[in-house]
Amino acid sequence: MARVQFLGTGNAFSPAGRMNALVLIDEKILVDTPPTLMPQLRRENISPAEIEHLLITHWHADHIFGFPFLMLDRHHVSDPSQERNLTVHLRPEGRELLESITELGFPGSVEKGTLSVVKWNENEITNLENSDWKFERFKVCHTPETDPHGYELTHSNGFVFLHTGDSGPCEEIDSRAGRADVILVEMGVPNFVESPHHHTPNDITALAERFPNSKILVTHNFASSELERNGFPKPKLSNSIMQLEDGDEMIISENGEIKFVNKNT
Ligand SMILES: [Zn+2]
Ligand SMILES: [Zn+2]
């Protein structure tokens, strides 16, 4: 069995009722470290020291600016003797970038030692140690300066979870979407915004029509949560597409069946 928790489902603007997009797998694999990371972990009673793998998609602030807080907590509170493993999976030059925002945010407070116990992995294909998952990282279509990537995650039972990162439609996603059981797509902007670097509601409808056998989940939503009366209304999408809410969870059984729960609603 595997568990994928959607601890945040909002884009960079934190629409009403949503924190920044954040995925937690099996309580120890994180995809990205948004600025709202710490309250998101606290709300689920997950200690920062429990995170063993961190997969980074790209260098936008809503995806990485929580990193210094993760390290500050591990260093001073949850793992002061530095016994717990943390591997950060990222693109070349990412280590320097994450070290520099940590030093900028908490100068002198997160000693170099804390960051030197982190393992830095730049391989594009990796079996995640002490877990049932492996990944393949792939390039996506987003602001080029952020070196944007997605992750194709495969469970040992064969289940494929395609995290397409922050991206507009692109061939690299389509080449993998057909074999994915579940495709997670970031819907950063509404239809009236013309940007090749983000999926709009119309782009997601078209993706669902091209890949009718894959379950499509929407995160990084520009629209407010359905629990909020104010803010940007949620676009209407076909019933086969699920616009996630914060706190949604996907449970994957051994035979690959999925079910969704949300203990907040
Ligand atoms: Zn983003
Ligand atoms: Zn982005």
Query: What are the residue ranges spanned by the domains of the chain?
Result: 2-262
Residue type present at position 170? C
Distance CA 239, CA 249 (A): 18
Q: What is the pLDDT along the chain (265 residues), one digit of tens a residue?
A: 999 999 999 999 999 999 999 999 999 999 999 999 999 999 999 999 999 999 999 999 999 999 999 999 999 999 999 899 999 999 999 999 999 999 999 998 887 666 778 999 999 999 999 999 999 999 999 999 999 999 999 999 999 999 999 999 999 999 999 999 999 999 999 999 999 999 999 999 999 999 999 999 999 999 999 888 778 889 999 988 999 999 999 999 999 899 999 977 7
CA of 59 to the centre of ligand 1 (A): 9
- What is the rounded CA–CA span in Å between residue 237 and residue 243? 8
User: Which ligand is located closest to the Cα atom of residue 63?
Assistant: 1
Q: How far is the CA of 33 from the centre of ligand 2 (A)?
A: 12
What residues have their beta carbon closer than 5 A to ion ligand 2? 60, 166
Residue 186: nearest ligand to its CA? 1
CATH number of 2-262: 3.60.15.10
CA–centroid distance, residue 190 to ligand 1 (Å): 14
Cα radius of gyration rounded to whole Å, the chain: 18
Residues with CB under 5 A from ligand 1 (ion): 12, 60, 62, 166
Closest CA to 88 of 117, 45, 47, 131: 117
| Nearest ligand, measured from the Cα of 32 | 1
pTM of the model: 0.96
Q: Strand order in 119-121's β-sheet?
A: 119-121, 87-89, 53-55, 29-31, 22-25, 2-8, 248-252, 258-262
Instruction: Provide the H-helix boundaries in the chain.
Output: 37-43, 61-64, 67-73, 94-105, 112-116, 171-177, 201-210
Task: Report the separation in Å between the CA atom of 83 and the middle of ligand 2, taken as the mean of its atom positions.
Answer: 33
CA atoms within 13 A on the CB side of 228: 15
